[in-house]
A and B are shown apart, each in its own frame.
Chain A
Amino acid sequence: MVVKVYGPIKAACPQRVLACLLELGVDFELIGVDLDSNEHKQPGFLQKQPFGQVPVVEDEDFRLFESRAIIRYYATKYGDKNRKLYGTTLEEKALVDQWLEVEAHHFNDMVYTIVLQKLVIPKMGGKTDHDLVQNCEKKLEQVFDIYEQRLSKSSHLAGDWFTLADLSHLPGIRYLVNECELSHMVRDRKNVNLWWNDISNRPAWKKVMQLFHELS
Chain B
Amino acid sequence: MTVKVYGFVGSNATYRVMASLYEKNVDFELVTVNMAAWEHKRPRFLARNPFGQVPAFEDGDVSLFESRAITQYVARKYAGKGTELIMKDPIQMAIQTVWMEVENQKFDRASWKLTEIAMHRVRGGPELVAEYEKKLSDVLDVYEARLTENKYLAGDSFTLADLHHLPNINFLMETRVRRLFEARPHVRAWVADITSRPAWVKVMSLSPW
A interface list, Cβ under 8 A from B: 50-51, 62, 64-66, 68-69, 72-73, 76-77, 90-91, 93-95, 97-98, 100-102, 104-106, 146, 149-150
Question: Would you call A50 and B142 a contact (CB within 8 A)?
Answer: yes
Question: Would you call A101 and B100 a contact (CB within 8 A)?
Answer: no
* Most chain B Cβ neighbours within 10 Å, of A95, A98, A106, A146: A98
Interface residues of B in 71-100 (CB under 8 A from A): 72-73, 76-77, 90-91, 93-95, 97-98, 100
Question: Would you call A102 and B68 a contact (CB within 8 A)?
Answer: no
Sorted nearest first, the 10 A-B pairs with minimum C-beta distance are A66-B101, A101-B66, A97-B69, A94-B73, A73-B94, A98-B69, A69-B97, A69-B98, A69-B101, A50-B142
Question: Would you call A51 and B106 a contact (CB within 8 A)?
Answer: yes
Instruction: Answer whether A76 and B90 are a contact pair too, CB < 8 Å, given A51-B142, A98-B65, A101-B69.
Output: yes
Interface size grouping (class) on chain B: 20 to 34
Instruction: Say if the beta carbon of B105 comes within 8 Å of chain A.
Output: yes
Residue of B nearest to A76 (CB): B90
Question: Would you call B91 and A93 a contact (CB within 8 A)?
Answer: no
Question: Would you call A64 and B95 a contact (CB within 8 A)?
Answer: yes
- Chain B hits for A100, CB < 8 A: 69
Question: Would you call B95 and A104 a contact (CB within 8 A)?
Answer: no
B4 to chain A, nearest CB (A): 15
Question: Would you call B76 and A72 a contact (CB within 8 A)?
Answer: no
Contact of B76 among A65, A69, A93 (CB under 8 A): A93
Instruction: Say if the beta carbon of B102 comes within 8 Å of chain A.
Output: yes
Residue of B nearest to A91 (CB): B62
Cα A97 to Cα B76 in complex, Å, equals 12
Interface residues of B in 1-58 (CB under 8 A from A): 50-51
Question: Would you call B97 and A72 a contact (CB within 8 A)?
Answer: yes
Excluding A51-B142, A64-B98, A66-B105, 15 further A-B contacts by CB distance (< 8 Å) are A50-B145, A51-B106, A66-B101, A68-B104, A69-B94, A69-B101, A72-B97, A73-B97, A93-B72, A94-B69, A94-B72, A95-B64, A97-B68, A97-B73, A149-B50
Residue of A nearest to B66 (CB): A101
Cα A76 to Cα B65 in complex, Å, equals 22
- Chain B hits for A105, CB < 8 A: 66
Contact of B95 among A51, A62, A90, A98 (CB under 8 A): A62
B175 to chain A, nearest CB (A): 23
Residue of B nearest to A145 (CB): B50
Question: Would you call B73 and A93 a contact (CB within 8 A)?
Answer: yes
Cα A98 to Cα B70 in complex, Å, equals 8
B146 to chain A, nearest CB (A): 8
Question: Would you call A102 and B106 a contact (CB within 8 A)?
Answer: no
11 sampled A-B residue pairs with Cβ under 8 A: A69-B97, A77-B90, A90-B77, A91-B73, A94-B64, A94-B72, A97-B68, A97-B73, A104-B104, A106-B51, A150-B50
Question: Would you call B51 and A146 a contact (CB within 8 A)?
Answer: yes
Question: Would you call B73 and A90 a contact (CB within 8 A)?
Answer: yes
Residue of A nearest to B74 (CB): A94
- Chain A hits for B90, CB < 8 A: 73, 76-77
- Chain B hits for A72, CB < 8 A: 94, 97
A163 to chain B, nearest CB (A): 13
- Chain A hits for B64, CB < 8 A: 94-95, 98
Question: Would you call A104 and B105 a contact (CB within 8 A)?
Answer: yes
- Chain B hits for A65, CB < 8 A: 98
Question: Would you call A90 and B100 a contact (CB within 8 A)?
Answer: no
- Chain A hits for B98, CB < 8 A: 64-66, 69
